[in-house]
Amino acid sequence: MKKLKMRCMNRNISSISTVLSASRLALTCLLGLSFFVSAAVTSAPLPVKLKGVNISGGEYNGGNPNGRLYYQYIYPSNAEIDYYAGKGMTVIRVPFSGARIQPVNNAALNVNEIANLQKVITYSASKGVHVILDPHDYGRKYDSVSRTMKLIGVPGGLPSAHFADFWKRMAIAFKSQPNVIFALMNEPNQQTPAQWKAVASDAVAAIRATGAAQKILIPGTSWTGAHSWVSSGNAAAWKGFTEPGNNFAFEVHQYLDSNNSGMSDVCVLGKGKDVLNSATLWARTNHFKLFLGEAGWSKNATCLSEGSAMMNYTSANADVWAGWTYWSGGSWWSQAYMYLLTPANLASPVDKPQMGALLNNL
């Protein structure tokens, strides 16, 4: 969905937390691929249904390969993960800037950024929580030649092979982590359905070629809206899709305001119970799974009722819906943000009103 979330945030913090020490990071180069070999991880049992929250922060100041951690962007803290795991949530979606992960075209991943993600993955595994890795770049990728973000797979943009190279390296880095899920891209919106299918299919093939078996979340174009999955042409483009691992779902997003943008605190009456219908019918007919990667609503009475209806719908149609992640948590959001789920004080948390509908559908 078309939305302009506030993502560019700057922080002046006097003390910076210590990230993973170099002794925990082993980097090996093979055929030009850099990959991370983690220390042994003690994992709690992993869930079948994936229900949780986006924890925003890693995508802030996106497109800048030289961003400063804890000043210009941040990753989920242990305290945030503890809070959501304690509620019974089983997955967090972690948006990040692809420019910081792979600052040079077709070259090694940034060791420090891989370590930052690994820290989140390792701690989440200890709590029995999956981590969805989400390059939050709207169908674009950083081009180290022009030093700009470029659309992928369109004339004048970056070729699909660049994106496949990124996901090949990411898969090698994290294929030994069973609690990792690969979300290919956040909300592509300029490519045609056919263009985006070609890009995404190449990325899926690159992931599977590494031997990585984890679940892959595949978005459509047109902001991957659930409400427009059929009318946008995404449904027609992806009909009959298969992949070697047979472990994927189509990721859709849905907000409850009048233009589906996630920019308003006014929800459309009756929308919650109906807006997922067409995508659900298509998925059931074609034997696919769907994942609701972003869904959010404000805390007024109408929105709370509509949000509850939409979550109830996913539970009632659990044969299609593999799970969901609410938008959004994150410690750098203003407490005034209308969709915010993270409490003001994690040491003594008071749940936000939206939490009720989520807890009722875990």
What is the chain's length?
A: 362
For residues 105 and 32, the answer to whether their CB atoms sit within 8 Å is: no
Within 8 A by CB and 6+ apart from 7, the residues are 56, 59, 60, 61, 62, 136
299 half-sphere exposure, CB direction, 13 A CA radius: 14
Pairing status of strand 33-37 against strand 26-30: antiparallel
Catalytic pick from 80, 187, 251, 306? 187
β-pair partners for 325: 52
Residue 294 annotated to the active site? yes
For residue 270, which amino acid is it?
G
Residues 202 and 205: their CA atoms lie apart, in Å, by 5
Cβ count near 77 (within 10 Å): 17
By CB atoms closer than 10 A (0-12, 13-18, 19+), residue 205 is middle
Helix 160-174 with 193-209: angle, nearest 10 deg:
40
Q: From the CB of residue 79, how many other CB atoms can be counted at a distance below 10 Å? A: 12
Per-residue tokens: 185: 């891209």
Among residues 293, 310, 338, the alpha carbon closest in space to that of 52 is found at 293
Is position 187 annotated as part of the catalytic site?
Answer: yes
User: What DSSP state is assigned to residue 58?
Assistant: B
Q: Which pair of structure tokens corresponds to residue 361?
A: 């559908």
Selected catalytic residue, list 59, 80, 113, 294: 294
Active site residues: 187, 294
